[in-house]
């Protein structure tokens, strides 16, 4: 500091004052760095119980390095959680409480439920048949056929069809027909299960499953009804008449398809559809909408049951060749 105070100050010119200020700044910074370098660090106490316990806990978590394959086409660390389970080092919270803040946090983000069901070859319809639902269901059916065209697909249905509970139309009848056509075009066997409700077009999808593999929960409901005319609003009379004719065409198509899959005549289906026809599980089985009623333990009974071909083979019955 003494050398800094003895700077020449004879002249009062601006350059001299500028050099004096810069020299003063350099001296202050130099003195502050020297003072900071002389601050003593507190000594580490090797007998500190906390540090001893921290070291013992940390020794149980070795600092492993994940294997990185340099010859792989995958960039490093993108497949870190596939082949390697990382271990976290001990933290003070773990030492003091033996519980980490991230103890119950999963290592991977959990997948969404539709993806989990799709992994089990399950397609769930739990909403009215609006365009967004139809798009998703058809995409899932096509994807499952692409993955394995021989394994069956399980279609769970809890839908009010193209209407809501109060009868208001929310979708066109073509939404149900689109899913039905996709089911008929697939190579896979589709097993249908009704949970909750299968109303209108949803009842058609329930009946369109593989014969012998159409199921219903004990307290589920099925109902068939005529298609409803959408709200006409301020349409002219000619447009209303065109819509009414289209609804009649959809009704006739629905009657034919229900007659085909339930085994009933067109006249019987037409008569029961004059008014909403509700069916519980037993009545739906009698009408031909389903084949079996599910209850707890039914899956094991169904798995142990022999196929019709096996029964014929055991009984010595041979199928005659087609003429």
Query: What six digits make up the tokens of 287?
Result: 């009408």
3-state secondary structure of 207: helix
**319 domain residue, yes or no:** no
Residues 76 and 145 both lie in one domain: no
- The residue range of the domain holding 82 is 49-97
Residues 119 and 232 both lie in one domain: yes
Q: What is the mean pLDDT of residues 240-255?
A: 91
Residue 191, strand partner residues: 154
**186 domain residue, yes or no:** yes
**What CATH code is carried by the domain that includes residue 169?**
3.90.226.10
Which residue intervals of 47-172 are DSSP H helices? 49-58, 80-83, 92-97, 113-119, 131-147
pLDDT at 103 over 50: yes
Residues 166 and 58 both lie in one domain: no
pLDDT at 59 over 50: yes
Residues 133 and 279 both lie in one domain: yes
Distant-in-sequence, close-in-space partners of 90: CB < 8 Å, separation ≥ 6: 54, 57, 58, 60, 61
Among the candidates 97, 132, 159, a domain finishes at: 97
Taking the C-alpha atoms of residue 306 and residue 312, their distance in angstroms, rounded to an integer, is: 10
Count of domains for the chain: 2
Instruction: Tell me the per-residue pLDDT of 257-271, one tens digit each, with 9 for 90 and over.
Output: 999 999 999 999 999
82: nearest Cα among 102, 101, 62, 68: 68
The whole-number pLDDT of residue 311 equals 75
Residues 74 and 212 both lie in one domain: no
Residues 80 and 190 both lie in one domain: no
Residues 92 and 117 both lie in one domain: no
**198 domain residue, yes or no:** yes
Residues 120 and 93 both lie in one domain: no
The whole-number pLDDT of residue 97 equals 44
Residues 67 and 171 both lie in one domain: no
The whole-number pLDDT of residue 301 equals 60
Residues 145 and 253 both lie in one domain: yes
**255 domain residue, yes or no:** yes
**Of 57-61, 193-197, 225-229, 314-318, the least confident:** 57-61
**90 domain residue, yes or no:** yes
**7 domain residue, yes or no:** no
Residues 184 and 64 both lie in one domain: no
pLDDT at 293 over 50: yes
Residues 83 and 167 both lie in one domain: no
Q: How confident is the model at residue 66 (pLDDT cuts 50, 70, 90)?
A: very low
**Of 162-176, 206-220, 287-301, the least confident:** 287-301
What H or E segment, with its residue span, contains residue 269? helix 266-272
**104 domain residue, yes or no:** no
Taking the C-alpha atoms of residue 150 and residue 139, their distance in angstroms, rounded to an integer, is: 17
Report the predicted TM-score, pTM, of the whole model to 2 decimal places. 0.59
Taking the C-alpha atoms of residue 206 and residue 157, their distance in angstroms, rounded to an integer, is: 7
Query: What six digits make up the tokens of 125?
Result: 């319809």
pLDDT at 91 over 60: no
């Amino acid at each position: 500091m003494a050398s800094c105070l003895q700077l020449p100050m004879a002249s009062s010119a601006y350059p001299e004052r500028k050099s004096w200020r810069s020299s003063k700044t350099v001296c202050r910074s130099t003195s502050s760095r020297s003072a900071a370098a002389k601050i003593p660090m507190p000594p580490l106490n090797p007998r500190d119980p906390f540090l001893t316990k921290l070291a013992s806990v940390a020794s149980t978590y070795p600092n492993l390095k994940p294997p990185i394959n340099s010859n792989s086409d995958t960039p490093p660390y993108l497949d870190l959680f596939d082949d390697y389970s990382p271990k976290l080092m001990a933290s003070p919270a773990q030492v003091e409480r033996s519980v980490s803040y991230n103890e119950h946090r999963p290592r991977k983000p959990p997948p969404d439920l539709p993806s989990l069901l799709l992994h089990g070859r399950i397609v769930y319809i739990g909403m009215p048949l609006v365009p967004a639902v139809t798009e998703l269901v058809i995409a899932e059916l096509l994807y499952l056929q692409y993955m394995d065209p021989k394994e069956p697909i399980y279609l769970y249905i809890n839908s009010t069809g193209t209407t809501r509970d109060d009868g208001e139309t929310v979708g066109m009848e073509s939404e149900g027909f689109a899913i039905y056509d996709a089911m008929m075009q697939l190579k896979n066997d589709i097993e249908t299960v009704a949970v909750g409700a299968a109303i209108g077009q949803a009842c058609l999808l329930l009946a369109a499953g593989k014969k012998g593999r159409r199921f219903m929960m004990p307290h589920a409901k099925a109902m068939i009804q005529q298609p409803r005319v959408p709200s006409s609003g301020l349409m002219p009379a000619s447009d209303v008449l065109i819509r009414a004719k289209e609804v009649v065409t959809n009704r006739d198509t629905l009657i034919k398809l229900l007659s085909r899959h339930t085994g009933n005549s067109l006249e019987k289906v037409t008569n029961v559809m004059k008014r909403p026809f509700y069916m519980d599980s037993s009545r739906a089985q009698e009408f031909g909408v389903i084949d079996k009623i599910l209850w707890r333990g039914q899956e094991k009974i169904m798995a142990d049951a022999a196929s019709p071909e096996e029964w014929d083979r055991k009984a010595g019955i041979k199928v005659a060749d087609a003429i």
